[in-house]
Amino acid sequence: MSLKALYLWFIFLGFYHLSVAAAKVRHFKWDVQYMYRTPDCLEHAVMGINGQFPGPTIRAQAGDTLHIELTNKLSTEGVVIHWHGIRQLGTPWADGTASISQCAINPGETFHYRYKVDRPGTYFYHGHYGMQRSAGLYGSLIVDLPEGQKEPFHYDGELNLLLSDWWHKSAHDQELGLSSNPLRWIGEPQSLLINGRGQFNCSMAAGFGNTTLPQCKFRGNEECAPQILHVLPNKTYRLRIASTTALASLNLAIGNHKMVVVEADGNNVQPLAVDKIDIYSGESYSVLITTDQDPKKNYWVSVGVIGREPKTPQGLTILHYQTTTASKLPTSPPPITPRWNDYARGKAFAGKVLALMGTPQPPKYANRRVILLNTQNKINGFTKWAINNVSLTLPSTPYLGSLKFGLKTAFDQKSPPENFSPEYDIMSPPANPNSKTGNGVYMFKLNTVVDVILQNANSLSANVSEIHPWHLHGHDFWVLGYGDGKFSAGDEKKFNLKNPPLKNTAVIFPYGWTALRFKADNPGVWAFHCHIEPHLHMGMGVIFAEGVQYVRRIPEEALTCGLTAKMFLNREHN
């Protein structure tokens, strides 16, 4: 070894030992339980953690290991928690997906999630069993750079916004309605929550004439009182924004303040100056704001519904300049939310989010292409969502254990369809709406480069095509592009291979397509699904598996149900 090589090796070892020394194991002991809270000024049963709603914020540094000791204090239902955006490299059993990566945690039982947060970013966690996200089981997960490293952008302070929607029907009532014949649709949410707080029976902006609700009068200690964002003048703040909504697509704006988008789903992007930002369920962003407005005033932070005809009032809080009083209301009305069906504007925003220079570029070619047609269908009279005419129903044995131990009767061994009929008319309701259920798996050889084309279509109703934000577990993907109508081979020419953003959640617009590319390089079994909670509940998802033979020992506590439980019992008795 040359002297120069030896010198570089010592430098590397120094950095390695420094990073190892800085990394920590962070322990958390959590109890999941129902409790009474007033998230929108009306009392409801809410699912929370350690008596908190939303759940506790996790803060860690890249390289740390998180150890969450989760006890199910629910008396009659199981629970799991998904760590949204964390890739679970080497720990696929900790992904927190019932029937996919693990068994649901039974009442009274404790499960140990142990995994590494390998890169910085804005993430969150939420329930992934039944519709427990709709019941309030969610919280923020923020991963900082290791000490001594700097972001490629400057800021003086940081604020955190976790966005959600809220119904006055319980999650169980919602589930029953979605599983009924005829369908009992849950309707639009009653409130939008910012950090778990919203207002249903009053408005903070009643004085501006855009509502018939009375003016909210808060002392400040109410559970539904807004969590005010305190800032100093002439500073730059990083706002970390994540959406864990069950249904609503949102647009966020801050009165008189521009935003500069710098991060999307844990990946840095080219700085993008905007007046408003669209954020779909499952997405997260960081934006920078500069507090350069009149320091004697306060300003609205508003969140409104897009993508569906809005029947839910804006969610509001206040950007408070600490040079004035926090109780002083803004003097201007809240920012106007864009027209809900202005999809051209939404596509323009999505297309401007581009990777920062230095971000890994996609491979030039894919080894395999899967085209997934999203349709609304009927199965024995029940309304379902389907992918290539298959509505996903999860098995009783988690896929990860089934594939690891070769249990071939645990799920359908026939591969799901990788395309749909070229004659299918995406612009009209399905000529034959009847579908079927299935739980087959898309199997990829390890390190295969996969293109996924998400194809939107008309629903069962005439002239209706809905927005669907799709989330991939265990990976990031490159968003290669969006298009209108039915995808065709010639559309490949529109792919952005130069600087496509790396994300884990991407939207398909009505009657359009979205092209994604990812590398199947993370051994495990991974959900890929619409992040709208009712749509997933009604079957809108698929399962990807890759390199399961390389998964190291899976903790038995993850597989103590179904056929894997019987396998463990038989082994103990033999």
Q: Is residue 362 part of a domain?
A: no
**CA separation (Å) from 526 to 93, 98, 475, 547?**
10, 11, 9, 11
Q: How many residues does this entry show for the chain?
A: 574
Is residue 161 domain-shared with residue 202, that is, in the same domain? yes
493 by DSSP, 3-state: which?
helix
Q: Is residue 151 part of a domain?
A: no
Is residue 316 domain-shared with residue 411, that is, in the same domain? no
Domain, as residue range, for 283: 157-352
Q: Report pLDDT for 8.
A: 40
Residue 365 burial (CB count, 10 A):
9
User: In which residue ranges of the chain is pLDDT below 50?
Assistant: 1-21
**Alpha-carbon distance 43 to 336, whole Å?**
29
**Alpha-carbon distance 2 to 10, whole Å?**
12
Q: Is residue 357 part of a domain?
A: no
pLDDT tens digits, 509-544:
999 999 999 999 999 999 999 999 999 999 999 999
Unique residue bearing structure tokens 């206040």: 318
CATH classification at residue 121: 2.60.40.420
Q: Is residue 316 part of a domain?
A: yes
Last residue of a domain, one of 295, 317, 352: 352
Is residue 61 domain-shared with residue 114, that is, in the same domain? yes
Q: What strand order describes the sheet that includes 121-127?
A: 58-61, 138-144, 121-127, 81-84
Is residue 116 domain-shared with residue 193, that is, in the same domain? no
Q: Which residues pair with 382 in a beta bridge?
A: 379
Is residue 267 domain-shared with residue 121, that is, in the same domain? no
Last residue of a domain, one of 121, 144, 167: 144
Q: Report pLDDT for 574.
A: 55
Last residue of a domain, one of 352, 386, 407: 352
pLDDT tens digits, 330-361:
999 999 999 999 999 999 999 999 999 999 99
Q: Is residue 574 part of a domain?
A: no
Q: Is the peptide bond before 523 cis (omega within 30 degrees of 0)?
A: no
pTM for the full predicted model: 0.95
Question: What is the count of structural domains for the chain?
Answer: 3
174 by DSSP, 3-state: which?
helix
User: Residue 556 carries which DSSP code?
Assistant: G
Contacts of 284 (CB under 8 A, 6+ apart): 85, 121, 122, 123, 124, 240, 241, 242, 243, 263, 264, 265, 266
Q: Shortest CA distance to 164 belongs to which of 233, 84, 109? A: 84
Is residue 539 domain-shared with residue 395, that is, in the same domain? yes
Is residue 76 domain-shared with residue 212, that is, in the same domain? no
Across 150-167, b (16+ Cβ under 10 Å) vs e yields: eeeeebeeebbbbbbbbb
Is residue 217 domain-shared with residue 288, that is, in the same domain? yes
Tokens of 440: 């087959």
Q: Is 141 in contact with 162 (CB distance < 8 Å)?
A: no
Is residue 259 domain-shared with residue 331, that is, in the same domain? yes
Q: Is residue 398 part of a domain?
A: yes
Is residue 95 domain-shared with residue 193, that is, in the same domain? no
Q: Shortest CA distance to 298 belongs to which of 332, 247, 258? A: 332
Is residue 345 domain-shared with residue 407, that is, in the same domain? no
Q: Is residue 152 part of a domain?
A: no
Q: Is residue 86 part of a domain?
A: yes
Residue 336 burial (CB count, 10 A):
13
Is residue 460 domain-shared with residue 557, that is, in the same domain? yes
Residue 134 burial (CB count, 10 A):
30
Across 177-213, b (16+ Cβ under 10 Å) vs e yields: bbeeeebeebeebbbbbbbbbbbbebbbbbeeeeeee
